[in-house]
Structure 1
Amino acid sequence: MKYKKILPILASSLLIFSSCDDNLMEWEKDPTHGEVTGAELPLALVEKISRYEPLKNYADFGIGNGIGMSLYMTDATYRKIVNENFDEVTPGYEMKHAAMVNVKGEINFTNVDAFIAETKKAGLRVFGHTLVWHSNQNANYLNSIIAPTVIPGSSGTNILDNAGLKNGTFTNWARNNPGKGITVIDNAGLASNTKAIQLMSSASSSAAYNLQLTSPNVPIVTGHNYEISFYVKSDVAGKGRISFNASLNNSYPYKDWYNTGASQTEAFATTSQWQQVKIKLAPGDFKAASTSFQFNLDLGYLPNVTYLIDVNTFAVVDLDAAGAVINMVANGKFNTDISGWSKFNGADNALSLAAAANAYEGNGAMKVVNATSDAANQWKTQIHADFSSMLVLNKEYTVSYMIRSEATGSVRCSTTGTTAHYQGDQATSTTWKLVEWKFTGNGTETGLNFDLGGTAGTYYIDNVLVTDGSAGGGGATPPVTIEKTDVEKAKIINDAMTDWISKMMTHYKTSVFSWDVVNEPMKEDGTMRSGNEGDTATDYFSWVKYLGKDYAVTAFKLARQYGNATDKLFINDYNLESSLAKCDGLIDYVKYIEGKGATVDGIGTQMHISLTTDKAKIVQMFQKLAASGKLIKISELDIRLGTNAPTVAQQASQAEMYQYVIDMYKKYIPVPQQYGITIWGVSDNSKEHEFWLPDESPNLWDANYVRKHAYKGTADGLAGKDVSLGFSGELVKP
């Protein structure tokens, strides 16, 4: 459209205005005739844009906006624009797994509930975004539940005669009640190449002693404590106990089994997962004249169960044996308290006792919360314990401890004294890790520090041991790490997906009626993501890697099962307009999902595009999507300009591209398939672009929340005409 002799006086840009009075344009005189009146001249573009109605008034389908939830709740200007112009809002981040699920897998609905209540007041619908994606997941939680199981080793040197088990002869062992068989088999232990005792209960087995293996005599020293430990699993749910010969005061003691933590329980439970059973015998458990004892593995409670017990780690330990390890820090196991440990540096809540659920073993652990990340100053969160005595010059010392964190973290140890020692930084994760540090004493060391200020997070520390090697060395044997099988991981992740989707759909069943169920499943070449693309982002987790191609089938079935029958369920992806192969691949995947019995209502095309995006491909994309027969949604439309300070010409081109996209959507997507268009973001304000397209200007309002030329292009596209042609030429003072 041409304008003749329009010379509005503006401070910096044709498109910027502020107060109502500023909207009154000042005009130069045309020397060819007298005074120029407003009625004789075309309206200035900025004046035209200011007179447009809200966007939603021009559309025959839903107009949505991708918003920042916190901005909507706290910024009145931002909220007013959203409420006036749109029918539907899509929270950009806050409804995703990472935002709502904590490290324990619990969902916090509080913030989204408050947001939905606010949007309901404004008459806005909320579009759920997004249930299953590879990004913005609480990857720490999801990785933790499929992480290897780390089980403590025995507490010292094994005095149990295992030779007859290792060679399969059962020398000195007695198979008193063999059930369907007690044998030693190869390659069935904790490690792939280790042996296991296989014990099979009979079909009629009903009493513990119906399947019984009896140990050799174990010598005892009066006044000493002993520990029996072994690893066990079963093909189906099982049950067992340890019983004793006449050397004990009670042959069937009720003990606190390590694997359950339940006191006063005769039996322990077994599952298909390896787990450790520990029982401790105190001096008072033995009869006064006893010099040895025997114990029985009684596994006959239940019929038709096959048990495996790892041979290499079947142990009896004399906990008070001569030369046993002497710990140079008090209270390294934290079973009842954290006495002996204090906070040198850190927040008030930095140090506390963790309950048994967060312990490596036993009834407690040391919990340390570090609120800040300062990789160069790890001492800023520092926990300290004194050594029981001054260290000796030139003697080697070993510090060992178990540690895990609720997210990826970092720890180091250091010593206090005239000259300090510093351990190198050690990476931590959600899996328990044994860390050992050796240093040579200088004779001035007074205590041990845990320095955790490098990476913010919550840490759990257990089994801290400082030894000098003079009493027989060592400390606890290393833990056993058990990797989960692919089948086990698939079940765990499937259960996690079920928990997440079922709870989200159930909770929002009366308030959210359309969802992005699966987001960005395809690669650029039109094939599916495999989960092996190598993304190292901390919030990256690939559901497809563990659940396979049917992960989306499961997701859609769950969303339908727990939501409403009339909910609109979408699959969503980007670059469909630049990679037609990807568009084809997504449509084919929808057919696959539906072929497996799920229903996909719609396809979302994000359309994060620029001025150079191929318009012909945009048309072809819409034609392909229309042919799918599904509802089609432009789900995240924005148009980049490559600068946060666009020229008037760039803004005009941006307006033309917005209008072109909308024109093509309306032209090629049949009306019954037009779900609507969502503009991704409100304005070019830097608050909206901290994480998405920084230093850009992709939106319909500028950085000061003033309508841009793009607003007019969008409205004209929605209306199917140049709306401003119907405006009066008179300037009316507000």
Structure 2
Amino acid sequence: MKRFNNIALIGLVSSIAIISCKKYESLEYQVGKPLTIANQEQIDAYNPLKSYLDSVKYPKFKFGAAISLSEYVSKGVMYRLVNSNFNDITAGYEMKHGSVVRNDGTLNLTNVNNLLQTASKAKISVFGHALVWHSGQNATYLNKLIAPIIIPGVSQPTWDLETGANFETDAATNYEYNANAVASFTAAGQGAGGTGRALKITNTSVRTQDYDVQLFVKLPNAVVAGEKYELVMDVKADNAASYPTQAHVTPGAYKHWDFFGTISATTTWAKYTKQITVTADMATSKTIAFNLGKTATSFYFDNITVKKYNEKGSGNAGYSYFFTNPTAANYWTAQVVHSLSPLQNGKEYTIKFAAKGSVAGNIRSELQSTSDYSNNAFGTIALTTAWKEYEFKTTTTKADRNNFVISFGDYVGKVNIDNVKLTLTDGTANLIPTIDFESGVGAWGGYGNGSTRGLSAQGEGYGGAQDQIIEKTADQKKTLIANAMKSWISAMVDTTKKYVKAWDVVNEPMDDGRPYELKTGVGRVLPADEFFWQDYLGKDYAVDAFKLARQYGNASDVHFINDYNLEYSIDKCKGLIQYVQYIESKGAKVDGIGTQMHISIDADKAKIEEMFRLLAATGKLIKVSELDMGLVNKKKTPEATVEDLTKQMELYKFVIDKYFEIIPANQRYGITIWSPLDSPVSSFWRAGEPIGLWTEGFVRKPAFMGVSEALKGK
């Protein structure tokens, strides 16, 4: 065996030697690179985009990118990509009103200043986007400015004797006493709790009748039968004593024996609380009489409060039913429901209830059939932030209506309802037995998009006396919103003017359906971040905005008006041009027009050319302000074909070529790529679509080559 192994080894070595001595001959066949690799190498061979611009010929031309502030200031891959390929950046959101303005109207510019300083060091200019827009606003703050004044529905005011400057003044307003009473104020620090003063009434001897010595507390309004009131006050006496109360129409004009019960006072301060329901015998009274004549001592009173019982602020307002919605969606995505026995067909029903919202807004109510979810609508409930009573009617058109439904999926906030009563219009029986929720929520339930619902806390119910709601006039609202615009623009522009030399002053003013008119929020339920300045300031809102930007910025700043779909709707393009003419007729200056161009690869090329010709004819600077490009029917990234990406490349090149061909050289301000990367599926903007020049993984796409070819020699 050993010998066999040696022979085999010698043969193997000989074979290797013979092969090693043979001359090398190359094979004729060669393996080529895969086409996809070759194509990618061709794209990757291009230089950074901005290198193709003739900086001598166009020294001021802005080739920009929209960025996320956090991605840019972190100086990661996106920072390096943008700095290599672009000379200008636009913050997609972080310079808008909603990002900067706090709920008290002050500005938080920390993030903006970080962006400006980072860009300045990188020698990248920053385009200001956008000063006045309807979206991306701190609507909470702006709506609070114009909200109605609400006077709580408490029938009687609160009196606290700490406010008394002297006895004569108090006696002339809220307090009186009869001739046998000796009245004064205690020294400071002798009131309830060892602070302030208290009212001191002395009875010098025991009287025949307790009413021979009386203190009167006068109410500004007469009480009404059925109303509920609460008396709260601090009392004590030098000697323990009890004394009754009477109802008087005016001081001394007796009406009823017992009003707020009999009070027992000791030698230390104690709080007395009494709740009553006004009887017919008490009605029309406006005075509480304290009868002090049976004990010879000094009586002390402090912190006297009379309020409606079951009213907000009293701590005894009872319960209500609440439901909340965290985010806006379709109105039917969050609902509360009370199941019913099937209602009669062809009958008119009436719903009555009280409701309020944490913010103003609209919810809806209806009678519904669970069999097919058809309904008869009661209508829209326009909530205010104060309790308000509502009444609606509807007639049933099916015999199986068996749910009362309130829909609130498009309302963001908390809603309280109380005192719900559903009846036949010509009947009295309530078909919703919970009524006031004092005994729980009963058959109420529901579902929704993260919504919650349930029984409110004690004291959050509706007491029956409505708050007084004083709406601001149109002129008052106009003044408040004009001041808010001035405060915002002046602070933002002045603070950033060292770095920011150009602004979208007004963004997206024109209506899509009526392209020669301004957008409006009237008649719509608005998302939480929308506020239409023009609905309060009128057509001149843009005039004011441009004048303010000019007043508080640099004299040489460039000011744009910007809108979308100008290449899709030529009428909208013409409407925007007409509005620019109107703005300038009112004395403001508009330097440029921005066209957003969020397009798809099937865009109408003839309309793109027509748009550029119309814009060029204005003589204004023209900017392609937000260029990005999707596929047909919003096709997602994994579905994109080679043909799709080739068409995208060609259209990117077409748009840039036509911009340089049609827009005169002295009007070419620049082009901004709105989405350098393809959009992630989690994005709010064209989610999951391959709209960029790079993939999400920072790989150049054919679109990068199309833009490069268009920029060459420009």
TM-score, normalised with respect to structure 2: 0.58
Q: Is the 8 A contact 2:679 2:686 kept in 1?
A: no
Residue by residue over 1:400-428, the C-alpha shift from the partner in whole angstroms, topping out at 9 and shown as x without a partner, is 998746999999xxxxxxxxxxx999999
Aligned to 1:503: 491
Q: 3-state SS of the aligned residue for 2:102?
A: coil
Question: 1:631 touches 1:675 (CA, 8 Å); kept in 2?
Answer: yes
Residue 513 of structure 1: SS of its match in structure 2? strand
Native 8 Å contact 1:506 1:563 kept in 2: yes
Q: Which residue of 1 aligns with 2:688?
A: 695
Letter in 1 for 2:592: G
Within a 5 Å distance, the mapping from 1:14-413 to structure 2 comes to 44-59=38-53, 60=58, 61-74=61-74, 76-156=76-156, 248=170, 284=199, 320=231, 322=259, 325=275, 404=358
Q: Tell me the residue number matched to 2:507.
A: 519
Given that residues 522 and 529 in structure 1 are in contact (C-alpha distance below 8 angstroms), is that contact kept between their aligned partners in structure 2?
A: yes
State the SS of the aligned residue for 2:606: helix
Aligned to 1:716: 709
Instruction: Give the whole-Å Cα distance in 2 for the aligned partners of 1:619 and 1:425.
Output: 47
Say whether the 8 Å CA contact 1:140–1:408 is kept in structure 2: no
Residue of structure 1 equivalent to 2:668: 674
Q: Give the superposition deviation at 1:546.
A: 0.9
1:637 to 617, 627, 636: 627
Distance 1:428 1:658 in 2: 38
1:484 aligns with 2:469: no
Q: Is the 8 A contact 1:404 1:428 kept in 2?
A: no
Q: Letter of the aligned partner of 1:500 in structure 2? A: W
Give the partner amino acid of 1:650.
D
1:291 deviation in Å? 5.5
Identity of aligned residues (%): 40
| CA 484–432 in structure 1, closer or farther in 2 if over 3 Å, else same | farther
State the alpha-carbon separation in 2 of the partners of residues 535 and 561 from structure 1: 34
CA distance in 1, matches of 2:119, 2:642: 35
Question: Of 517, 539, 544, which residue of structure 2 is paired with 1:528?
Answer: 517
CA contact (8 A) 2:418 2:437 kept: no
Distance 1:67 1:430, change over 3 A: closer
TM-score normalised according to structure 1 size: 0.56
Q: Is the 8 A contact 1:247 1:293 kept in 2?
A: no
Structure 1: distance between partners of 2:412 and 2:664:
50
Confirm or deny: 8 A CA contact 1:243 1:252 kept in the other structure: no
1:566 matched to 2:481? The reply is no
Q: Which amino acid aligns with 2:535?
A: K
Q: CA deviation at 1:700?
A: 0.4
Distance apart, 1:311 and its partner CA: 13
Q: What letter is aligned with 2:467?
A: P
Q: For residue 465 of structure 2, give the secondary structure of its aligned residue in structure 1.
A: coil
C-alpha distance in 2 between matches for 1:295 and 1:371: 42
Q: CA deviation at 1:680?
A: 0.6
Structure 2 counterpart of 1:396: none
Alpha carbons of 1:710 and 1:533: their partners in 2 closer, same or farther (altered >3 Å)? farther
Judge which range, 402-411 or 627-636, deviates more.
402-411
- Whole-angstrom distance in 1 between the partners of 2:70 and 2:222: 57
Contact 1:242 1:295 in 2 (8 A): no
Deviation of 1:101 after TM superposition, in Å, equals: 2.0
Measured after TM superposition, the shift of residue 695 of structure 1 is 2.4
2:581 to 591, 595, 607: 591
The 8 Å contact of residues 325 and 409 in structure 2, kept in 1 or not, is answered as no
Query: Aligned-pair distance for 1:116?
Result: 2.0
Equivalent AA in structure 2 for residue 609 of structure 1: I
RMSD: 5.2
**In the alignment, is the contact (CA less than 8 A) between 1:377 and 1:454 conserved in 2?**
no
1:536 and 1:500 map into 2 onto residues whose CA distance is 25
AA at the equivalent of 1:486: A
In 1, are the aligned partners of 2:64 and 2:670 still within 8 Å (CA)? yes
Change (3 A) 1:362 1:676: farther
- Find 2:657's aligned residue among 656, 663, 678: 663
Q: 1:247 to 1:700 in 2, by over 3 A?
A: closer
The 3-state SS of whatever aligns with 2:505 is strand
Residue 242 of structure 1 and its aligned partner are, at CA, apart by: 11
Deviation digits for residues 104-157 of structure 1, max 9, x if unmatched? 22321122222222222222111111111111112222222212211113345x
Q: 1:464 aligns with which of 436, 459, 463?
A: 459
Counterpart residue identity of residue 92, structure 2:
G
1:418-446: CA deviation from partner (whole Å, max 9, x where unpaired): xxxxx99999999999864585899999x
Deviation per CA, 1:629-679: give whole Å up to 9, x if none: 111000000111142132112111111111111111101111111110000
Instruction: Write the distance in 1 (CA, Å) between the matches of 2:647 and 2:409.
Output: 50
Question: What is the CA–CA distance in structure 2 between the aligned matches of 1:487 and 1:431, rounded to whole Å?
Answer: 28
User: In 2, distance between residues paired with 1:606 and 1:465?
Assistant: 49
> Cα gap change, 1:631/1:660 in structure 2, threshold over 3 Å: closer, same or farther?
same
How far apart in 2 are the matches of 1:227 and 1:58?
78
Instruction: Encode CA deviations 1:578-599: one digit per residue, 9 max, x unaligned.
Output: 1111111111111111111111
Give a deviation string over 1:575-618, Cα, whole Å, max 9, x none: 11111111111111111111111111110000111111111111
Deviation at 1:243, TM superposition (A): 10
Rounded to whole Å, the distance in 1 between the matches of 2:140 and 2:76 is 35
Q: Would the alpha carbon gap of residues 675 and 282 (structure 1) be closer, same or farther in structure 2, given more than 3 Å must change?
A: same
How has the CA–CA distance of structure 1 residues 720 and 579 changed in structure 2, closer, same or farther, with 3 Å as cutoff?
Answer: farther
What SS is found at the alignment partner of 2:698?
coil
Q: Deviations over 1:277-306 (max 9, x none)?
A: xxxx9982889866558899xxxxxxxxxx
Give yes or no for contact 1:56–1:86 (8 Å, CA) kept in 2.
yes
User: How far did 1:489 drift?
Assistant: 1.2
Instruction: Give the conservation status (yes or no) of the 8 Å contact 2:63–2:87.
Output: yes
**Is residue 2:571 matched to residue 1:581?**
yes
Contact 2:518 2:539 in 1 (8 A): no
| Matches of 1:108 and 1:712, distance apart in 2 | 40
By how many angstroms is 1:490 displaced? 1.0
- Distance of 2:94 and 2:655 partners within structure 1: 28
8 Å Cα contact 1:103-1:141 kept in structure 2: yes
Partner of 2:680: 686
Q: CA contact under 8 A between 1:249 and 1:287: conserved in structure 2? A: no
Deviations 1:686-708 (A, max 9, x none): 17x61011121111001221111
Q: Which has the larger radius of gyration?
A: 2
Would the aligned equivalents of 1:64 and 1:678 in 2 still touch at CA under 8 Å? yes
CA shift in 2, pair 1:290/1:149, >3 Å: same
Kept in 2: contact 1:146–1:489 (CA 8 A): yes
| Aligned CA distance change for structure 1 residues 488 and 311 (closer, same or farther; 3 Å) | farther
Gap change, CA 1:69 and 1:246, over 3 Å in 2: closer
Aligned length: 491
Task: Work out whether residues 400 and 465 of structure 1, in 8 Å CA contact, stay in contact via their aligned partners in 2.
Answer: no
Paired letter, 1:511: Y
Letter of the 2:541 counterpart: Y
- Is the contact between residue 663 and residue 720 of structure 1 (CA under 8 Å) also seen in structure 2? no
Is this contact kept in 1: 2:510–2:516, CA < 8 A?
yes
Contact 1:140 1:407 in 2 (8 A): no
Name stretches of at least 5 consecutive residues in structure 1 with no aligned partner.
Answer: 1-30, 159-224, 229-240, 254-280, 297-309, 328-359, 379-398, 412-422, 446-452, 467-473, 722-734
**8 Å CA contact 2:419, 2:435 repeated in 1:** no
SS for the counterpart of 2:66 is strand
Cα distance in 1 for partners of 2:417, 2:569 equals: 49
| 1:607 counterpart residue number | 597
